[in-house]
Each structure stands twice: as C-alpha cells, then as structure tokens.
Structure 1
Amino acid sequence: MINSDLDRPDHCIRIVRGQEAANLLRDSCFQEEWDALADACPWATACQSYNYISTWFEIYSNCFEPLFVLHETGEGRLAGLLALAISSDGKSLVHAGACQAEYQVWLARPSSSDTFILGALSILREQFPGKYIRLQYVPDRTPMSWISHARTRGVSTKRTVVKRPLLETVTESQINASLRKKSNRSRINRLKKIAELKFTRISKRQDLEPFIGSIADFCDLRQGAINRTFPFRDDPHKKEFWLGLLEKTGLIHASALMLGDAPIAVHIGPISRSSVSLGIICHSPFFSEHSPGKLLILYLAKQLAQENFSYFDLTAGGDEYKSRFASRFDEASILEISFDGFDYYLGVMRHGLLGSAKHMLGPVATSRAKALRRRFSLSANLFHLASSKKKIIYHSRDTPPLPPISVPTVSLRVNCLSDLLLPKVRYSRREMECEFLAEALRLLEAGARMYTYANRGILLHCSWVASDRSAPPGMMRGRGQAWHFWETYNVTEALAPNVRVLSLSQRLHDAKQFASSQDVFVHLERRDDGAARFLEQYGFIHVDRANG
C-alpha cells in the first residue's frame, strides 16, 4: 500500500501553466527550490535540471507552452515536480524538452516519489481527459511500484524496459593502449599526413558556433540517408538550443576531433552528475575511411577519465556501435501513460510497434543501418545498369587540353553538404530524397568529388567525378585506371542553358590535377546535346557500351 502525504492538509499538488509557469521560470526562489529538489532526487539527470528546461522553453517558446505539476509542502517547499509542455496546437502533451530530452522523468525525494507521481497523474487526468504522455527514457533508479496502483486512479500505463549501454571510464593507460592498436594507429597516422590531428574540449559558445553549421550538415546527411530524418533541417531551433546550453556552466560536455582547422568528428552531450550522456555525435563523410567517429569516442573516453567522470552513457537505442563500445549495461524504461483507454491503446500501437519489432527481430533490427546501406548500394547498382541504355558515353585516353575557364556566370560548389541538403523539387516524397542522399553519402565516403549548383535555396544540379574505386557499380571500365564524370540531379527547366556545360568544363579542368594520362569516361543523358558538342569539340569519342 502506498501512503499518501498528499492527503495531509499542509501538502498540496497543483498545476501551473502558460504565463504563470513562465513567471515561475524567472523566479530566483523557484529556481533554488528546483535545484535543491534535483540534487535530492537520485534518478534526476541533466534533462530535468532548471538550466536545461528553462533554456529549452526560452528557445522553443513559440512551439510549446510550459506546464508544471508541483507538489508543495505547507512551508512552501518544493517536494515534487513534473515538467511538461503543451504543443502550440494544443494536441500534444510532452515532457519538457520533448525529443531534446534524452531522459524524461519527474523529480521527487525517494520517500514520496510514488505518491507524487500518482497524484500528478490523477490531477492531469482531471484536466486533460483523453490525453497521452510518453516518457522516454526513464532512468534505471526511478521507483516504479506505483504502476500497479495507477489503474485505480483511472490511468493506463505500459512500461517497456530497454537495455542501456555504458562505457565505464578507465585509466588513461588503458585508453592509450587501445589508441596504440595497429588499426587505430594506422588511422591516426594517415590523418596526420593530411594535417595536424588534435582532440579539443569545447567549453564556450563562441568556440562551438563556427562549427555548428558543419555539425548540422554531418547529422542531417547521415540521419537522412539511414533513418530518413533530418534533426536540424526539420528543427530550426536546434542549433540555438545546443549553443544556449553551452552557455550554462557545467551542463554540457562538448568536444571535437580536429584535422587542421576543421572538425571531422564532434560530440555534444549533457552532464549528469558523474557521467556524460551521448547527445549529438557526428563525423565528416569525407574522412569516413579513417573512422573518425571511433577515434573521437576513444579520445573522449580518455578525456572523461582525466576529468574523473565514472562513465560515458551511450544511451538506449538500436545503434549497433553502442554495444561494441559498451563495457556494461543497465536498464531504462519507456512509460506510455494515457488518461483514456482508447487513446492509450492507439498511443501504444503508434509508438510501440517499431520497438516490439526490434525486440523480436533482435540482431536483425540492430543491423538496420547496414541493411539500408546494402539496399541502397543494390538500388544504385540496378539504377546504373538500367539507365545505361538511356545514356551516351564519351571516352578519352586522358583529359584533353581544354581552354581556360572564362568568368563563370553561375557558382558551382565542390563537396558542399549544405547544398546537398537543400530542398529538391524533383522529389515529391521524403523517401525519394533519402535514397538520393544515401547514394550521395556512399559516394562521398568512397572518395567521389561532388559539384552542386543551387539558386534561391533550391538544389538545381548535382554532378560527380570519381575513380574506378569510388564510382558506382555498372560504370564502363577502361583498360587501366579510369575516371568517371556523370550527373545525378538536374532541374532542367530551372537551369540556365550553359550550366551543365560549365559544370562539365569545371570538372574536367579540376581532373587535370589528378586524372592525367588515364582513361576518362563521361556519361551523358542522350538529350544533353550541348555537353555532347562540347566533348566532341575537344577530342572525346562516342563509344558503345557493347563495344566497351
């Protein structure tokens, strides 16, 4: 039986929302009470801290309305807090921080946690009948005995337990031993031949701000290609949120693996007492063959050991690499809470089917990224084989002498990820764009060189140069090493007549630096008469694939 202090006349539970809640966020006394409660709550994380949540509400003020469920003693002391938010359209009730809060839970002292959360859910049911709340993820040490009593309060609750991988910090000598392994040492040495390689701890907003655009591009390209999501592109507030968090002392741990003056891998994550949680982690596709993400995690583990953190929380989720790095596992929970039976089952079905499928499929689900990569690689192969009949191929034994490039009337950019992530009018569905990005990611990681042209925030042209090793399957091969030139995206009706010829000319000029005295194949669409005339003018010969 759960004893309820809330029945005492000197205790009360209440909801504050909207402007009243916003005023509380600016109250220094309330902030002190919040901080003291978080310190006394063993399962609290950075995502429940005043600084984290107040920053989120400040940045997302036009998207969410604050709602706090408060448990206050007769002396006015804060004894319980569930920080929620209502979406601007009034349809969704979420934990404050929404998807930016990796951990979602209430604050209370252990002795009163169960009575507080039951009381909080009861009053929420009264004021928000039919609503559904999903708390993902709830930390391992959170009391859960209240769940068996929730039904008596008219609250439906489903708990799903998931594994959480942790990388315990070890001595610096152990990390150094891992970095000295032959494979890692080879990666490090190859990178050092390119430029100075260094691991950097970032502690100030002004030090992170110059790189936040690249970080967003790295994340969106990979997530779009693999998971069909765009964390930064779909959330225009995300950059400012993480920059704002870095302004709060002791809240965020940020670091980068730098090659010269540019980041090739970055991590930004919240600090929760003696641990750092995985937040944003990304790496440049241009250096993927050197595994910069893996090197970053090793250098980060070394840094965390030096800073006396107990472990690096890799967080729950199906990413396979997390299990490879984990030294142990504990658990986290997903709580699906409904104040209406029908809505509860709809919510469980909406959010739970994928999780259940992953649980049943086991290793198959955790290998989703690899399966998608194989699928996209196969799609690319079939595409190039199927489209070969629609293309004409021009060949030269080496890159021929070309006239100097005149002042261009359009600006083509090389390996510009931000161009690649711009809206694409040719793709009416996200799935089509993501398959295009998956192939682009594969090419960039293989070492292909990308040229793009955009106008007024729309991608209009994307073309490539690649060696045999980097080119897609199905390309015609020469007798020796060959270089290939082709296009993957054009909005023909929006392009100036000379853009495609200028693109081809620039690519051929650039190729003189690395593709001289080698076979050159240019793959053109049959209707591209301008480029065909340009190639024939400078000695390229039309070849038949069958006579390769």
Structure 2
Amino acid sequence: MQTIVDHDIATSPIVVKGLEICVGKDVFELLSDQDFQSGWDALYEACPWGTVFQSRGFVGAWYRTYRERYLPVLALTRGPGGRLTGLLALAQAGAQPAAGAPLLGAGHFEAEYQCWLADGQAQGEVFITAALEQLGRRFARSPVLFRFLPPGAPLDWARTDPGWRSRCVLQAARRPLMEMDDPGLPKLFRKSEFMNKLNRLRRLGEVRLERVTDAGAFSAVLGELAVQYDFRQGALYNKNRFRENPRKAIFLQELFEQGIVHATVLKVNGEIIAAIAAIISKDWVHLGGINIHSPMYANYYSPGFVHFIMLGQLLSKEDVACFDLTPGGDSYKERMATTHDYVYELVVSNKLSFFFKKQIKNKIHNRLIRAGLRPMSVELAIRKKIYLLKKKTGALLSSGLSLLFSKIPEPKTKFYNIPVAGLAQIDTNVSLNISYNKLEDLLNYEDSGSLRTRWEFLSEAMRRFESGERCYTWGAGGRLLACAWQGAARAGGPVPEGAPVLRGLYCHRTGRSGLANFLAAVARKVIQASKGKQPAVICSDKAIGKVLKQLGTVL
C-alpha cells in the first residue's frame, strides 16, 4: 500500500494528508480486512449520492470476477480512529499498470453510475480533487472516466475552478424515472396501450409476472436469458456480452446471491417472453443487468412494454421509491417515465488531444439533441456502415474480386414447389439435429467467406421473427449448418396467398452434404403443421437451388 502526503496540489488550495492509493493485490488485501469492510459499508450508507454501484458488495464482486481482466485501483482517506472519509474505486484494463491507459470507474460497463463516496458535500470535493491529483501523478497521462455521475455528486470544482475546468469535460444526460409516489402512476398502469397488449397476450393463455427470489431458480433461467440477451444485442449492436464475456453470468449470479439483483420474468403458458434483472440500490431499482423480450412476440404483443408496466405495478407495492429507467434517449422509456432528472458523464484528462476530442464529441452530441436526433442511434448507424464496409471489402478481396465497387448482378430469385413425391426420394433414416426457433443456433452463424456479415444475419433474423416468420435450424458442433424461414405467401405471386413458404435459406459449406436431408425434413414438418399443404420455396442461391431441384420443380 502506498501512502501519499500531499503538500503541493497545483489546481486546488486544499491540502489533504494521508491519501492512500492502493493497486492490485493491495486492494484485495484491504477487501479481506473486516475493519475496512465495515468502514466501506458505513461510508456507503452515509454518502447521500452514492449508489449500489459504489457499494462494497458490487465493487468487490466485480473486482474478484474480473481480476484477470482489470487491475483494481482504490483511492481513500481516513479520519480520526481510521474511519473512512473518502473512497474512489477505479480499474485499469489489463493485469499490470499501463501508462496512458484510462482509469475506469469500477464496474466499467456493468456499473450504470460511477462516482466516489464521501461523508458530505465539502468532504466530497476535498477528497475527489486530492484523489485525482495524486492519481494523475501515479498513472501518468491516464484519463479518468466516469460513465455517469448521479445527481448530488459534488461537481462545483469541475465547473468553477479554472485549473480543473481546463481538464474536465462534463456531459449532461437526461434520465427518465418512474417515481412510485407520483400521482399519475395509477393512470400509467391503466394506459389503454398497455391494457390492449396485455389482453392480446391473455388470449394466448395464462399470463404471469414472476419475481425470481431463489438463487437456484435464477441460475436455472440465466442461461436462457443470456441467449435472448445476446441475440437482441447482436442484432442491434453487434455485441454478444455473455458469449464474449462468460464471467458476466458469474458476476450476475453473485450479485443475485447478495440480494443486489431484482429479477422478474413474464411468462405466457410457462414460456418466458420477457425478463428484467435490475439492480437494487437502497430504495431504488435501476434498469440494468438484463433487459430482454422475445422477438417472436415483439411486433403484435409488445411483451417488453407489458413487462415494464407490470414490473412498475409490482415495485409500487414493494419498498421501492423509484424505478430508474436509466439514460440513453430510448423512446420506450419515455412512454413509462413520470419525471426526469440529469446525470453527468465526466472525463478528467491532462492530455490536450483527448480533452479536445471529448469537447468536440460533446458539441456534436448537443447539436444532435437540438435537432431531435438520438446521438446513440446516429453513432450506431455510422459505426455499422464502417463495420460493413470493412467486412465486405475483406470478403470481396478474399474472393479474388478486384473491382470492389463495381455493380454485382443480383441473383435471380426462383420459386420451387416441393411435392411429396420428391420427399420420398430422400433418405428418412438420416438423423439431423433440427430445431425450431432456436436462437442459440442462429447465434452460431459464421460469416467467414460470406458477403453477409453476422451483424446483418442477426438483424435480418430479428426482423423476420418480428414479422411473424419462424425458423428451422440445423446446428452441430457449435456451428449453424443450415436454416430456413417459414412464412406465408404474399398476394400477387406465383404461390397462392397464405400458402406456406420457405425463404431465407442458408447453408454453411460444411453442411452441404446434408442439405437435401435438412430441406426434406423441414418440408415434412411444414406439411404436418399445415395439415398437408405442400410448401413452396423462394431461393436465389444457385448451390441451394441445385439441391431444391432434386426435391421439386421450379414454378
């Protein structure tokens, strides 16, 4: 442990003695000390702006779970008798200190709010300025990043002190809240939109909102929720939080066992169609952890919206003051908010280039908001275009095509009719692992050597689900070998309107030898489900078309 006595704070006249900075194993030694544990807990309870993301339970679990990926850093001060008076929990990516690498709020993306703890506003300013000054000396040229600072966190020093103003970038973010004592809340719970969607679900069968309170029950559903979460995140943002980070599930399970997670699932006839694993902070519940809904029900039933309102009803009966819907500018959150406040992103840096980049980004952010645009959506659209350009350019180069931007002719779409006679020619003894609407199989899509990226594939899959189509998949060895989407024929085509149609066919190169068996098996399932109606197939892929000719005729 390193103890620093500060006698020379260039940007503040306040002198703080005994400020300690602990790194790596010293942090874990402190966390095992019972007096320190008690001191942290007491400081958390006393700090008026602290959130659960600064609690010892949350930070300690995150440090332990990710100790191989993040280097823990603590800055702290003690008062008379060794009592903790200030605490800042940070981390640096990697196992060893790295000059210039950012210092992140403990929890990183898992923590919605990141700040420091102190036992009052005055001590809060004294502590944070001293801590940042010493961290700047210990971690040369490393910016300090706070994802969102909650309301009440002392920030006058960053706004008014000339020395700190030149190093700080503050960005406000509007936060939607559902306050449980708001007089308009009962009206929200009776909203016609909600009642209409709920009644639609009830026509399907039994609708139940269940609070998950048992650790074993949470563990049992966590795998299914993780797959749904990764599917939606993959389709929207090209992110697979659980797949890319298996420790996320371990972390959430530990938080649940500590009583920090408030988990609910919405079921129809026993099937989970929506779920939220929120984080409990004193008498607040923060949206985070997991927030999913089934794409199969999304368009007509809006299970996510129904779940939010039913969860709000549940929280209003529990000892909860506020349901924090969290910042982000999402329109669905605005439909449920009863009020708003503001939180702040804060960046502290001595690097002029970093400082000016953040300033420019903030100005663009503010202009987009004034123009009525959601900054996150604009940023995502740009990121997706860049991603697709890189991926498709690489795929074209690997295919040996030199004219990257030349017009490639669209493949001709053909309609195939699969008669029962054609199916009889296929060996029915071949056993394939064919599943129905299995999201995990779709997540195993590989885009190597293909012009259709994984992001595009999952986005298209989500759109198909939401439009009412259903999917048959063949998976083996953690790989999607083939898939086919079933829908109904549209009016005006060569197939009678409403007849079963298979489209969106895909086959991995290692599944080509079994493609005929897959298509035949799917066709049999469709015929059985549609009470004898023969499916038509829409296909533009030449290789798949050759196999289809073995089964039927071209319309």
- Category of TM-score, reference length = shorter chain: 0.7 to 0.9
Task: Find the aligned partners of 2:450 and 2:240 in 1 and give their Cα distance.
Answer: 16
Q: Which residue of 1 aligns with 2:263?
A: 254
**Range 323-332 or range 212-221, more displaced:** 212-221
Match of 2:434 among 412, 416, 425: 412
Task: Find the aligned partners of 1:172 and 1:258 in 2 and give their Cα distance.
Answer: 29
Q: Does 1:126 align with 2:126?
A: no
Q: Which residue of 2 aligns with 1:489?
A: 506
Distance 1:367 1:93, change over 3 A: closer
Distance 1:308 1:368, change over 3 A: farther
Equivalence map 1:464-543=2 (5 Å)? 464-468=485-489, 476-492=493-509, 494-497=510-513, 499-516=514-531, 520-524=535-539, 525-528=541-544, 531-536=547-552, 541-543=553-555
Q: One-letter code of the match for 1:362? A: G
Q: Which residue of 1 aligns with 2:349?
A: 338
Task: Find the aligned partners of 1:88 and 1:3 in 2 and give their Cα distance.
Answer: 30
Q: Which residue of 2 aligns with 1:7?
A: 15
Task: Find the aligned partners of 1:92 and 1:458 in 2 and give their Cα distance.
Answer: 37
Q: Does 1:462 align with 2:483?
A: yes
Distance 1:165 1:148, change over 3 A: closer
For residue 212 of structure 1, report the CA deviation from its aligned partner. Answer: 1.4
Partner of 2:71, secondary structure, is: strand
Q: Which residue of 1 aligns with 2:397?
A: none
Match of 2:103 among 93, 112, 135: 93
Q: Which residue of 2 aligns with 1:270?
A: 279
Distance 1:147 1:160, change over 3 A: same
Q: One-letter code of the match for 1:452? A: T
Deviations 1:432-479 (A, max 9, x none): 22111111101112221212223332223222111136xxxx994534
Match of 1:147 among 154, 158, 174: 158
For residue 506 of structure 1, report the CA deviation from its aligned partner. Answer: 1.6
Distance 1:441 1:22, change over 3 A: same
User: % of aligned pairs identical?
Assistant: 28
Q: Which residue of 1 aligns with 2:50?
A: 44
For residue 77 of structure 1, report the CA deviation from its aligned partner. Answer: 1.0
For residue 428 of structure 1, report the CA deviation from its aligned partner. Answer: 7.1
Q: Which residue of 2 aligns with 1:381?
A: none
Answer yes or no: is the 8 Å Cα contact 1:167–1:314 preserved in 2.
yes
Task: Find the aligned partners of 1:415 and 1:387 in 2 and give their Cα distance.
Answer: 32
**Range 335-344 or range 311-320, more displaced:** 335-344
Q: Which residue of 1 aligns with 2:61?
A: 55
For residue 162 of structure 1, report the CA deviation from its aligned partner. Answer: 1.3
Deviations 1:361-383 (A, max 9, x none): 424557769999xx9xxxxxxxx
Q: Does 1:440 align with 2:449?
A: no
Q: Which residue of 2 aligns with 1:220?
A: 230
Task: Find the aligned partners of 1:78 and 1:46 in 2 and give their Cα distance.
Answer: 18
Match of 1:241 among 251, 254, 261: 251
For residue 407 of structure 1, report the CA deviation from its aligned partner. Answer: 3.4
Distance 1:255 1:369, change over 3 A: farther
Q: One-letter code of the match for 1:243? A: Q
| Structure 1 unaligned blocks of 5 or more | 376-385, 544-548
For residue 173 of structure 1, report the CA deviation from its aligned partner. Answer: 11
For residue 336 of structure 1, report the CA deviation from its aligned partner. Answer: 0.9
Task: Find the aligned partners of 2:268 and 2:147 in 1 and give their Cα distance.
Answer: 36
Q: Which residue of 1 aligns with 2:77?
A: 71
Task: Find the aligned partners of 1:465 and 1:306 in 2 and give their Cα distance.
Answer: 43
Partner of 2:77, secondary structure, is: strand
Q: Does 1:329 align with 2:345?
A: no
Distance 1:149 1:302, change over 3 A: same
Distance 1:426 1:174, change over 3 A: same
| Structure 2 unaligned blocks of 5 or more | 1-9, 386-407
Q: One-letter code of the match for 1:275? A: W
Task: Find the aligned partners of 1:466 and 1:475 in 2 and give their Cα distance.
Answer: 15
Partner of 2:68, secondary structure, is: coil
Answer yes or no: is the 8 Å Cα contact 2:489–2:495 preserved in 1.
no
User: TM-score, normalised on structure 2?
Assistant: 0.84
Task: Find the aligned partners of 2:410 and 2:43 in 1 and give their Cα distance.
Answer: 66
Deviations 1:482-519 (A, max 9, x none): 22113443222x1251x211221122111123434657
Q: One-letter code of the match for 1:209? A: S
Task: Find the aligned partners of 2:281 and 2:297 in 1 and give their Cα distance.
Answer: 31
Q: One-letter code of the match for 2:266? A: L
For residue 171 of structure 1, report the CA deviation from its aligned partner. Answer: 8.3
Q: Which residue of 2 aligns with 1:378?
A: none
Task: Find the aligned partners of 2:254 and 2:319 in 1 and give their Cα distance.
Answer: 25
Deviations 1:377-398 (A, max 9, x none): xxxxxxxxx98743432136x8
Task: Find the aligned partners of 1:235 and 1:352 in 2 and give their Cα distance.
Answer: 30
Distance 1:106 1:495, change over 3 A: same
For residue 22 of structure 1, report the CA deviation from its aligned partner. Answer: 0.7
Distance 1:367 1:323, change over 3 A: farther
Match of 1:19 among 15, 20, 25: 25
Q: Does 1:166 align with 2:177?
A: yes
Answer yes or no: is the 8 Å Cα contact 1:172–1:302 preserved in 2.
no
For residue 425 of structure 1, report the CA deviation from its aligned partner. Answer: 3.7
Distance 1:228 1:49, change over 3 A: same
Task: Find the aligned partners of 1:304 and 1:217 in 2 and give their Cα distance.
Answer: 26
Task: Find the aligned partners of 1:338 and 1:486 in 2 and give their Cα distance.
Answer: 53
